[in-house]
Structure 1
Amino acid sequence: MKTYICQICGDAYIGEGKPTECPFCGARENFIKIGKEALPILNQETPARNATLARNASHNDASGHSVAGGKISETDKKNLLETLDLELKANSLYLCMASKAKSYEIKAMYKRLAKVELEHAIIATKFLKIERPGIDAESCSEEEIENFNKTIELEDHATKLYAGFAKTAEDRNIKILFTALAQVEEDHIKLIKNYL
């Protein structure tokens, strides 16, 4: 048994071999490292992050958003907040879809997608250094095909959005995050297309 750690969410997987995707956030295999080699993006020391931590410690102020230049750029902050909102809505929507599923397989699949989307929201809150907001209930169709199509639409939007965010990200680790998230959402589209 070995410990593997995801560079994106920082969670550990324990198993005989490296997983092809992170079981928690869905990041692809290239973002998963053997435990002793892992340095998740949220844990990486950067001059900007160190400056923010020093400032917060000296001013007894933990409210500053860290990263680029000691502070998350306004663009990165806006994009992370939009990500947080989108991922929380996806989590709630997928839980609704799980509750409407006619087979255990579809129910379990949507519950797993909901957990992955929630993990993405948690990552955004860690970058922003904020508490996770409450999750509002979302409604969904009683029809599986409609839900599959809605899922593809949502995941396609997220894929394109995150690819764009990766291009405009000012912080290297936020760029890595959005690159990984775009890939995960793209993988979700492939998954759902298997059911159509």
Structure 2
Amino acid sequence: MSNLVCVVCGMAVNDKNYELNKESFMDSNSIDDIKYCPFCGAPIEYLIQGGKELIFDRSSLNDNALRIIDHAVKLEIFNGDFYKKAAVIAKDSKVKKMFQALSKIEFMHARIHKKIGGFKEDPVIADMDYSKYDSDEILLEMACKREKHAVEYYEKYSKEIEDENIKKIFAALSKVEEEHIELTSKEETA
């Protein structure tokens, strides 16, 4: 493996990190078969030998586009926070690990959006208490709903974004969230 770079998040994938967050993927990366960015979850087509992060023109973002990006940051932080808290509540160790990995992926998505929008601070979100959800099945059902909402968000608002590279980032993140739908649905029946 040499110098694979994720064009979505800009992170280099190498023999020391290819297994990060492996619990958040349907199929795990192996040293000889990289399928996903271990940081943001982007599929293989976004991992480029010697690649560079997608460049976008922040100055071309109008108020509506900035609002969309700002809401995307909040969506991903809200979901990352949910997974972080769900990992503590979950009973099954496999589900706990999956939620921990999903939290890291969602927080990376928020970081990507913050960079796009040029936002320096994390938004303040409501501190939610999920302790009443006392079964893994309920937590997985909630996770699946969140992922479906994220896919719908990216699909709806990518039409309002003019920058083609930001549209590509939305498409990549939507694919990641689609896999998370499958992953959380699969775990519900496991």
| TM-score of the alignment, normalized to the shorter chain, above 0.5 | yes
* Equivalent in the alignment of 1:132: 121
**1:175 correspondence with 2:164:** no
CA deviations 1:56-106 (Å, max 9, x no partner) are xxxxxxxxxx242xxx12222111011011111101110111001112211
Q: TM-score, normalised by structure 1?
A: 0.81
* Equivalent in the alignment of 1:149: 141
**1:26 correspondence with 2:41:** yes
Contact 2:5 2:47 in 1 (8 A): yes
* Equivalent in the alignment of 1:89: 78
Contact 1:93 1:139 in 2 (8 A): no
**1:108 correspondence with 2:97:** yes
Q: Structure 2 residue aligned with 1:189, among 178, 181, 185?
A: 181
Q: TM-score, normalised by structure 2?
A: 0.84
CA distance in 2, matches of 1:99, 1:92: 11
CA distance in 1, matches of 2:134, 2:124: 21
**What amino acid is the match of 1:101?**
A
**1:40 correspondence with 2:32:** no
> SS of the residue aligned with 2:14?
strand
**Distance change >3 Å, CA 161–CA 18, structure 1 → 2:** same
CA distance in 2, matches of 1:138, 1:115: 18
* Equivalent in the alignment of 1:6: 6
Which has the larger share of helix? Answer: 1
Name segments (4+ residues, structure 1) moved above 6 Å: none
Aligned residues: 170
**What amino acid is the match of 2:9?**
C
**Higher RCO structure, 1 or 2 (CA under 8 Å, sep 6+):** 2
Give me the CA root mean square deviation. Answer: 1.6
CA distance in 2, matches of 1:23, 1:121: 15
* Equivalent in the alignment of 1:118: 107
CA distance in 2, matches of 1:90, 1:112: 12
Deviation at 1:135, TM superposition (A): 5.5
**What amino acid is the match of 1:170?**
E
Contact 1:76 1:174 in 2 (8 A): no
CA distance in 2, matches of 1:121, 1:76: 15
CA distance in 2, matches of 1:189, 1:18: 23
CA deviations 1:5-46 (Å, max 9, x no partner) are 101000111034452111100111110111x2x1211xx3x6
Bigger-Rg structure (1/2):
1
Unaligned runs of 5+ in 2: 16-30
Unaligned runs of 5+ in 1: 50-65
